[in-house]
Amino acid sequence: MLVAIKVAFAVIAALGAGFHLAAPMSQPSVSAPSGALFAAGSPLVPGRAVDRSFDVSTSGATYLGLYMTGLHTSCPAPDAASRLQLTVIRDGRPVYAGDVDDFARTHSAPSSALQVEPGTFDFRIRLDPTVDNSYQGCSSQVDINWMVAQ
């Protein structure tokens, strides 16, 4: 049985608070924060990274996967989501390094989820240092989904 839990991931939005989600005892469950991970109060500047660390744990699960859905970009400049460099780090080791657009295309459903282990995750977003002023005021938003299975 699959259980998917969404974590809203907005590059320009308010930080969310974490909470525990629990399924019935016979089903696997995941505990992860909910809400937006990045805030407008921490604007992206070309070349500077913004980080958000949090813990993810599971109960009764033999599989934990990470995927993204609903990528939406508001920007007149081309390929804005591909200008957002993403590094996903688990317990100090990178498990993904690329851009938001690529991750959202490659890992877009439970069947293509990036398999990870529970632990401390750091989502690091860095605006490409080569962007020009045409990207000023742009925003991208995507949902991060955690999937567990037994």
**pLDDT recorded at residue 26:** 53
DSSP 8-state class, residue 101: H
Neighbours of 8 (CB within 10 A): 17
What span, in angstroms and rounded, lies between the C-alpha atoms of 49 and 2? Answer: 33
Pair 23, 29: CB distance under 8 Å: yes
pTM summary value: 0.78
pLDDT of residue 20: 38
| Chain centroid to CA 124 | 9
**Cα–Cα distance measured from residue 65 to residue 84, given in angstroms and rounded to the nearest whole number:** 22
- Assign a CATH topology to domain 2-149: Jelly Rolls (2.60.120)
The per-residue pLDDT for 80 is 93
Find the mean pLDDT for residues 116-137: 93
- For residue 43, how many other CB atoms are within 10 A of its CB? 14
| Domain residue limits, the chain | 2-149
Q: What percent of the chain has pLDDT over 90?
A: 57
120 pLDDT more than 60:
yes
